[in-house]
Structure 1
Amino acid sequence: MASRYWVVSLPAQNSASSLWNRLQEQISKHSFDTPLYRFNIPNLRVGTLDSLLSLSDDLLKSNNFVEGVSHKIRRQIEELERVSGVESSALTVDGVPVDSYLTRFVWDEAKYPTMSPLKEIVDSIHGQVAKIEDDLKVRVAEYNNVRSQLNAINRKQSGSLAVRDLSGLVKPEDIIISEHLVTLLAIVPKYSQKDWLSSYETLTNYVVPRSSKKLFEDNEYALYTVTLFNRVADNFRTSAREKGFQIRDFEYSSEAQESRKQELEKLVQDQENLRGSLLQWCYTSYGEVIFVSLNLLSS
């Protein structure tokens, strides 16, 4: 269960230390084992009342924006860990668990000089988180693009025979291509296989008798070869279509198969690299957003 914290701001009329001591006493009297932490806020350039009132709206918008970006990154981390099968890890800020970092927060004077006007500090924080959000969009888009390409290839390899890539199902010895002969690939509905076997030799003239061979079968279709004279191939396609058989265009090429194999292997490797890189970036950026959100809260 995630921890929940309340941030309470009290006016220090006399001494901040005495107020802190009184607050500890009151909390201990009215609660059970409730930890209390002092959120150290530096002396910032407050400016005029008008500037503070003007800044209050900006602070609310910036706080909601930063919180939204932190949620986006956290959800992205959860999705990447789930897809990768990685055990969910505790998110950190500078290598420290978020809970621990929150209770020991110290303002970073180097990044946000306390002598700078409050509006300048808030604008700097907002700009930093906006850049992180833009980087997230670019990195996620790049990762999703590779995923989409892989999914498209997988659909071609796992879909029905009417649409899938046939290169992995056809061997060189299944295809005859010569000056006069050509081998076509027919997609036959499973319930029509008897009809195909009894009719393919007569769909046009010059079909090689008993040349049809079944190469593969899925839940809907069967893949058959048929060899015939090249000059009647178009007539055969037309007659086959009229009987409900689909002739798939296919040209066997060992070079093309090797190229497709290398492309697939590269996409798989690219996806793994991008996923790991994006996950590490999200871990780091989540910590950065939590860090700047605490600085924003202190403002």
Structure 2
Amino acid sequence: MAASRYWMVSLPVQNSASHLWSRLQESISKRSFDTPLYRFNVPNLRVGTLDSLLSLSDDLLKSNNFIEGVSHKIRRQIDDLEKASGVDGGALTVDGVPVDSYLTRFVWDEAKFPTMSPLREIVDSVHGEVAKIEDDMKVRAAEYNTVRSQLNAINRKQTGSLAVRDLSDLVKPDDIITSEHLVTLLAVVPKYSQKDWLSSYETLATYVVPRSSKKLHEDNEYALYTVTLFKKIADHFRTSAREKGFQIRDFEYSPEAQEGRKEELQKLMQDLENMRSSLLQWCYASYGEVFSSWMHFCAVRVFAESILRYGLPPSFLSVVLAPSTKAEKKVRTILSELCGDSSNSFWTSEEESGFAGLGGETETYPYVSFTINIV
């Protein structure tokens, strides 16, 4: 089962990167064998000036939080859409590769992000691309949610209590009497007040047709009754009924209107399904784009923070680990032991340099470390 939380770490190289990699593999194998470990290949990026690196470091955590947040938004949207459609789309992919495999076998895309570009330019490019995807997602999700809200409103009318639901499917043509002088009203009566209704409806106004009330439907709260009376006293009857706790629902029987509502419902359901399918496919593709951009950003981040911590020329080993919670302390000890005393070769102390916590961790370690939360 793929991990959902990884550490991205860089260690200072004293002799050779391959020697340090072997030592790390050996230590993890002996002392925390259940911790997956992968080498993360960071290309030779353009260092620039120390001032530019310091300036960039101020924005790295903020940009990472934004990019990570967008990836999580898309993933949550995918989960919601799959749940709504009752299907499981399976593992997410990036360029056809499972997400965790893309991370642990990362290869820099030179065509998309030329390594000779300034680091600031690469970071801004990644941030801008992800921001466009987020804006697009907001528009698409809003359109989908609008149709879903319309459909939910119709469904509430179909399935709500008799006080609010659409009554057209409960009333038949022969339930309604409409003539020049007579009219049939629909009364919503509290379930436990039906005896009161039956004993009093004929006296709520003059010119009520005796024994004209018939029960059409009953739910958990109310019962629906008809009552026939003269049109001229309909308003007076409504008022009297309301005073007794009975609700007279406005209703006009129209087969054409009922058929129109059915067609509207079917169209909305089809529109929603089409939009759901389209949005889901877009989310699959966009998640891959965002995740790919995020991993390129992480490569820039680990490179910049390693230079700031270890100095020039670039000489560090970057790796990805996925320790279990119970193994975290043991793995931290292994990583610290492998750092030796070289981690402060550029600055004598973090306090003097002002460098502390660029990785965004709550603790500071003698090596670069930050967490990647996939979900």
TM-score normalised to the size of structure 1? Answer: 0.91
Q: What's 1:276 paired with?
A: 277
The one-letter amino acid of 1:74's match is R
AA paired with 1:265? Q
Report what 1:24 is aligned to: 21
Per the TM alignment, residue 35 of structure 1 is displaced from its structure 2 partner at its CA by: 5.6
Code of the aligned partner of 2:201:
Y
C-alpha displacement at 1:173, in angstroms? 1.5
State the percentage of identical aligned residues: 78
Residue equivalent to 1:265: 266
What letter is aligned with 1:244? Answer: G
SS of residue matched to 1:31: helix
Residue aligning to 1:106:
107
Match of 1:55 in 2: 56
- Alpha carbons 2:78, 2:280 under 8 Å: kept: yes
Which structure 2 residues correspond to residues 36-115 of structure 1 after superposition, within 5 A? Answer: 36-87=37-88, 89-115=90-116
Q: SS where residue 9 of structure 1 aligns?
A: strand
CA distance in 2, matches of 1:177, 1:57: 76
Residue 286 of structure 2 is matched in structure 1 by 285
Gaps in structure 1 of 5+ consecutive residues: none
- Quote the Cα distance in structure 2 between the aligned partners of 1:256 and 1:30: 75
- Give the match's secondary structure for 2:83: helix
Q: Which has the higher contact order (CA 8 A, sep 6+)?
A: 2
Instruction: Please say if residues 45 and 115 of structure 1, whose CA atoms lie closer than 8 Å, have aligned partners that are also in contact.
Output: yes
Corresponding position of 2:248: 247
Give the direction of change, closer, same or farther, for the CA distance of 1:118–1:24 in structure 2 (3 Å limit).
closer
Deviations 1:81-135 (A, max 9, x none): 2222212511110111112212322222222122322111111100111111112
Q: Distance in 2 between matches of 1:38 and 1:183?
A: 79
Instruction: Provide the C-alpha distance between the structure 1 equivalents of 2:124 and 2:134, rounded to a whole number of angstroms.
Output: 15
* Contact kept in structure 2, 1:203 and 1:240, CA below 8 Å: yes
Greater shift in the superposed pair: 251-260 or 195-204: 195-204
**CA RMSD of superposed structures (Å):** 2.0
1:199-246: CA deviation from partner (whole Å, max 9, x where unpaired)? 222322222222211111112211111111211212222222232221
SS, match of residue 247 in structure 1: strand
Following superposition, the deviation at residue 13 of structure 1 comes to: 6.7
Higher mean C-alpha deviation, range 182-191 or range 24-33: 24-33
Q: Once the 2 structures are TM-superposed, how far is the Cα of residue 50 of structure 1 from its aligned partner?
A: 0.7
1:94-243 alignment, distance < 5 Å: 94-243=95-244
Instruction: Give the number of aligned pairs.
Output: 295
**SS of 1:105's equivalent?**
coil
Contact map agreement 2:45 2:119 (CA 8 A) in 1: yes
Q: Is the 1:24–1:36 Cα contact (8 Å) retained in structure 2?
A: no
Name the CA distance, whole Å, in 2 between partners of 1:53 and 1:111. Answer: 25
Which AA in structure 2 matches 1:106?
V
Residues 181, 227 of structure 1: 8 Å contact kept: yes
Tell me, in whole angstroms, the C-alpha distance in 2 between the residues paired with 1:42 and 1:184: 79
Distance in 1, Cα, partners of 2:195 & 2:14: 96
**Contact kept in structure 1, 2:13 and 2:20, CA below 8 Å:** no
Please list the CA deviations of residues 226-284 of structure 1 after superposition, one character each: whole Å capped at 9, or x if unmatched.
11121121222222223222111111111111111111112212222222222222211
Deviations 1:39-59 (A, max 9, x none): 333332221111111111122
- Residues 117-157 of structure 1, C-alpha deviation per residue, up to 9 Å, x if partnerless? 21111111001111111122222222222222222222222
Find the aligned partners of 1:222 and 1:254 in 2 and give their Cα distance: 23
Distance, in Å, in 1 between the alignment partners of 2:118 and 2:43 is 13
Q: In the TM superposition, what whole-angstrom CA distance separates every residue of 1:160-194 from its partner, at most 9, and x where no partner exists? A: 21122111111112111121111111111222222
Quote the residue 2:365 is aligned against: none
- Partners of 1:128 and 1:276 lie apart in 2 by 24
